[in-house]
Amino acid sequence: MTKPLIIVESPTKIKTLKKYVGKEFNVGASAGHIRDLPVKTLGIDIEKNFAAKYVNIKDKAKVIANLKNLAKDTNEIYLAPDPDREGEAIAFHIMDILKKKDRIFHRVLIHELTKKGIQEALQHTKEPDVDKYDAQQARRKLDRIVGYQISPLLWQKVQRGLSAGRVQSVAVKIICDREREIRKFVPEEFWTITADLLAQYPPEFNAGLIKINNKKAKIENQEQASAILEDLETAQFVIHEIKTKTIKRTPAPPFITSKLQQDAINRLRFSARKTMIVAQQLYEGIEIGTGGPEGLITYMRTDSTRIAPDAAQEAQKFISETFGNDFALKKPRFFKNKNKVQDAHEAIRPTSISHTPQALKNFLTPDQFQLYDLIWKRFVASQMAQAIIDQKTILIQATDKYLFSVSGSTVRFPGFMSLYSQDQESAEKEIQALPDAIVGAALKTIKILPKQHFTKPPPRFSEASLVKELEKNGIGRPSTYASILSVIRDKGYVDLINRFFIPSELGFIVNDLLVTCFPTVLNISFTAQMETNLDNVESGNLQEVQLLTDFYASFKKYLDAAGEQMVSVKGVGVDTDLNCPSCGKQLNIKIGRNGHFLACTGYPDCSFTSNYLRDEKGHISIVEKIIDNTKVKDCSLCGKPMVQKEGRFGPFLACTGYPECKHTESVNGEQSGKDTGVKCIQTNCSGTILEKKSKRGKIFFGCSNYPDCTFASWDKPQNKACPDCSSPYLVEKETKREGKFLKCPEKDCHFKQQL
């Protein structure tokens, strides 16, 4: 009989596990999911209680064969994929593939990849969680039904390659709704008045006008501001009241997934996706000179702020020894979870406080160090004493009519703020120092300053604020936010410009079609309720089949109606308020192979088409066609003039002898894309690979000699031949589990090399 087998999700965990379980166990990895719904069909039998037809993932044949080989002589298997719904599904699928008479399966939940965490998990095994598996299945089936039944409509009505998603489409709607708010916004003028004042002793300070005749100051224009300035020219400023108070500020709890993403975006300029990739690396284990990899943080997908008592006690001891007893607590601080939070995991924290960021710096990449430093400081700060802050507000009377105010604060005791400030903007803002003064004291007027302002529209969403919005509305789950943000960009529905999301024209078109035809699916409260329903399935309070049945009953009605009623952007197009300059009929927005454009509704009698622009208010204007027949050079094949044209992938030169002569060339000196420095891999091509953007906003890589050379790839090529096959190049890829690596582009070759 062979040793018991532990099966984890990620291959990178194998070394970490072997370090602690020694030779008592064999260890294998599933490398993520090994079974899924089929790619080319729905894979769900709606008529038979939504039964799923799972198939082995094609690329996992070798992984499955290896697991079967490892398990062939053992009767005891420990299922240790990640401790969440996805991990539970992986565990069930492994169990299904490896089931055998008298074989026993144990579910192992490893929350931290340390000696203690692994030993505790192996000593307290569980039965596989059917309810958690049902919740994962319900989510997977919902997403498949929405994606596979709405997306073909978009292919038919808009263009191929588009997709709709139960959660991603709601995220796009939120961004589109905000953009429309911004476009409708009309700024309003207002003024503020401040005074630079000096008491008997320095420092000079600046106070703002807050009340006029005991009512909130509201200055709408320059005339009103000028009248107030005239009143104040000879006014005596006198201290009317001094208010003082002491406040105690409590640190924030340790990170949950969404808060970690938000802080990493704001402080480190990481994307949500990058944050999760780096956090996964820290969780799965890093070589830190202890004789093998060691997990540095607890599991990074969690909604819970709970922490283990022994971790809190360890933090107290460290704080006392490092900062002093004044900074430590008499007893650890524990945080209450919000309602409905799943408490299966702890908050994100370091597995050992003694592993300080500085002590590990030489073992970590710069990205790993920055994120670990953030997690470590946030957790330690959560167990430190409150900060004590003295606040002072001085109210100043100028005549009986005007009341000014100024506030300042002094940190009496920094407490946790000496390590981690949870409000970065406040920490960076200069705090105004106030003088010692008494009520009734007259102040010297240095300067009175009027200033014109205009109200601002609501801000666009950044990655951090969109994650916060999704979390606030209960849309998706923290573990899905990174993929949602990536998908909506990859599909060309939104662009991330100067760190803010802006909907593309395609994003608006698709969003409006879906909102019209599927109002329930794109309803924020409905989507949030669905997340609650999935939680209820996990807790055993709702049956998976009941959830799916209730959803599909209304969804099918909308789906059937959409097939008939959804506007065809390819055919009819989207209405505009513009008229055709050629025949006067209405112009509609259509989408073709080269993107969106205006077309006359009088076609085929009128064939007018044009590109268009939207201004900041969303108004459409026709882009006048500039026909440039300027000869650039002579055609090398037929001698006729060549002129510049605009193609699918940018400008190129074309022979005017078309269609008899179809010769084309790239534009000399014009490289419509960022040069990667990689030579084109096509035989006998002298071009270089450029990073380009498709009409839908997705990044791809193409040759600078286009259209003569048509090489293109979604992945960045590298001039390195594959050592396992005849491919002359490799491509760069990046995944959540494996980070960055090189891969052979040939489908039948499985060569990979870590970067």
**Catalytic site positions:** 299
Cβ-count burial of 57 within 10 angstroms (0-12 exposed, 13-18 middle, 19+ buried)? middle
Amino acid at 304: S
d(CA 257, CA 304): 9
β strands within 526-582, DSSP E? 574-579
> 257: helix, coil or strand?
helix
CA 347/CA 388 separation, integer angstroms: 26
Confirm if 644 and 656 have CB atoms less than 8 A apart: no
Report CA Rg, the chain. Answer: 32
Q: What span, in angstroms and rounded, lies between the C-alpha atoms of 118 and 111?
A: 8
On whether the CB atoms of residues 372 and 297 are closer than 8 A, the answer is yes
Question: How crowded is residue 663: how many other Cβ atoms within 10 Å of its Cβ?
Answer: 17
Strands (E), 512-630: 574-579, 586-592, 595-600, 609-610, 612-614, 620-622
> What is the rounded CA–CA span in Å between residue 143 and residue 515?
17
CA distance 594 to 646: 10
Distance between CA atoms of 484 and 344, rounded to whole angstroms?
23
* CA dist., res. 741 & res. 733, Å (int): 6
Give Cβ neighbours of residue 645 (< 8 Å, ≥ 6 apart).
651, 652, 653, 654
Closest residue by Cα to residue 494 from 519, 511, 517: 511
Q: Which two tokens stand for residue 335?
A: 């945080």
Beta bridge partners of 218: none
Q: Using the 8-state DSSP alphabet, how is residue 2 labeled? A: P
CA distance 465 to 266: 9
How remote is the C-alpha of 115 from its chain's centroid?
A: 33
Where does 149-264 show beta strands of DSSP type E? 189-198, 205-212, 215-216, 237-249
| CB 492 within 8 Å of CB 696 | yes
Q: Is the CB of residue 689 less than 8 Å from the CB of residue 701?
A: yes
183 CB-near residues (< 8 Å, 6+ apart): 616, 617, 618
How many angstroms separate the CA atoms of 452 and 224, rounded?
A: 11
Residues 125 and 6: beta-carbon distance below 8 Å = no
How far is the CA of 358 from the CAs of 113, 361, 362, 363, in angstroms? 21, 5, 8, 10
